[in-house]
Amino acid sequence: MDVKVLSNSDGQLKFVAKDADPTFMNAIRRIIMAEVAIPAIEKVYIAENTSVLYDDIIAHRLGLIPLKGGEILTLTEKCDCDKKGCPKCESILTLEVEAAEDNFLVYSGRMKAEGSVFPANNNIPIAEMNAGQKLTLEAHARLGLGKNHAKWQPVSACAVKYEPIIEIDSKKCDLCGACIEECPKKILKEKDNAIVVTSLWDCTLCKLCEEACPPAAIKISYDDRNSVLIVETTGSLTNDELVLAACDVMLQKCEELKSSIKSLPEAF
């Protein structure tokens, strides 16, 4: 497998894997979305809330704040506390605020980390309060998996796209320009009396150019042995860490399968 990074900026990683089985790439995508453990707030104990928002709305908002850290935590399901929650599997964050003025916005950055877990972004609004209103709470964060709740999904987007194949028959093409006009990504242009592709990986395989071409000179298909993986983190882990963590999870699954097969009776 040949891997080449196309871009890695603004929270998005895009890399091409050549000669990679499509099922393998999809397995990595699914593991990133559903089986890489990250922290999220699971329990909220509200001591005082005189804001206009109900306790459960605030708890729901807190649950969706992406959190960083928690590498030392274990999954509560695998902890010896019988799923009750303990310092080994939980990390505490607190929030104590009294609005000094009207229209006072409380952001995630005001949460104080008592343990190893803290907000990945300090600018996420939690509540808007008026002068004198108070909010005091304690939140318990746990590690979890995206397959159990979306708040533990470490990515806002994660997709696999196959390599587009754009074939242009120069004998049939009359340079009418309809395909250039129709392409939503604007990746076709005329150069030296021929239609050329400027950015192949930006093609979304929509086939609008194919439909717009009267002499049927353009044909769109794809090669599923070459694909691009697009990862957009929510901030809990970096995109690179996410891909590596997904590979570790897959290796662990293979190890479990291997040891299970080895432990089968010989007659099998």
**Residue 255 φ then ψ, to 5°:** -60, -40
Tell me which of 47, 86, 131, 206 binds Zn ion, using CB under 5 A.
86
Point out which span in 76-84, 157-165, 207-215, 219-227 binds Zn ion (CB under 5 A). Answer: 76-84
Distance CA 54, CA 199 (A): 50
Q: Which is nearer to Zn ion, 18 or 88 (CB)?
A: 88
**Subset of 168-227 contacting Zn ion (CB under 5 A):** none
Query: Of 236, 179, 231, whose CA–CA distance to 210 is shortest?
Result: 179
Q: How many C-beta atoms lie closer than 10 Å to residue 167's C-beta?
A: 10
Contact call for residue 89 and Zn ion (CB under 5 A): yes
Question: Which is it for strands 188-190 and 155-168: parallel, antiparallel or unpaired?
Answer: unpaired
Task: Work out how close the CB of 148 gets to Zn ion at its nearest, in angstroms, rounded to a whole number.
Answer: 16
Point out which span in 72-80, 91-99, 181-189, 199-207 binds Zn ion (CB under 5 A). Answer: 72-80
Point out which span in 75-83, 121-129, 137-145, 176-184 binds Zn ion (CB under 5 A). Answer: 75-83
Query: What's the DSSP call for residue 51?
Result: S
Contact call for residue 79 and Zn ion (CB under 5 A): yes
CB 41 within 8 Å of CB 63:
yes
Contact call for residue 73 and Zn ion (CB under 5 A): no
Task: Work out how close the CB of 133 gets to Zn ion at its nearest, in angstroms, rounded to a whole number.
Answer: 34
**Subset of 6-45 contacting Zn ion (CB under 5 A):** none
CB 8 within 8 Å of CB 239:
yes
Q: How many CA atoms lie within 13 A of 205 on its CB side?
A: 11
What residues make contact with Zn ion under the rule CB under 5 A? Answer: 79, 81, 86, 88-89
